[in-house]
Chains A and B, each alone.
Chain A
Amino acid sequence: MASLQGYVDRRVLLVLQDGRVIVGTLVGFDQKSNVVLSESKERVYSMEEGVEEIPLGLYLVKGDMIVLIGEIDDAIDEAVDLATIHAEPILPIRY
């Protein structure tokens, strides 16, 4: 089973179907890969400005909306100055 068990209490990055990127601490999940994050923030990417972080707090994401869940390497993440990163947003999923 490609389970999310190993990600509990870890800092994770979610990519959603609409292209949004959300980071937070994974506090729980279920069979349908519905996910609860604490201290979560959306990272908004654009070419014009650096990455903007919008606090979302405790957040529930429906499994259907999730593209990918990645475990964040905190050392690498903290070494990156998000304000200097300019990038196109991730494209939405197209079936």
Chain B
Amino acid sequence: MDPSTTGIQEPFDLIRLSLSERVFVKLRGDRELTGILHAYDGHMNLILSDVEETIMMVDPVDENFEGQGTVKVAKRKMEMLFVRGDGVILVSPPSRT
């Protein structure tokens, strides 16, 4: 795609164009968020609303079975959330499908 038409020249542009849209955020500690992006800064600190968090936990009892461990998934919702940037692995814009 031509950068002059998408307006995307550097990584942060992708995040800027996702403002007020629902984004997917992958975090350290096997956590994922989806939420509407309202603010970010250069540290990738984020402020999201209407957030759903998914935490993946591997049941340690089954861990010896060569990666066959049962993964427990916990979900919770939060209305308005500040996310500290040092935990952020990736921010992905909404799917356009």
List chain A positions with a Cβ less than 8 A from chain B: 94-95
Contact = CB atoms under 8 A, between A and B. Distances in A.
Contacts, number: 4
Interface residues of B, number: 4
B28 interface: yes
A68 to B, nearest CB: 15
Interface in B62-97: 86-87
A66 B62 CA distance: 35
A94 B87 CA distance: 10
Contacts of A95: 28, 86-87
A95 B87 CA distance: 7
B61 to A, nearest CB: 19
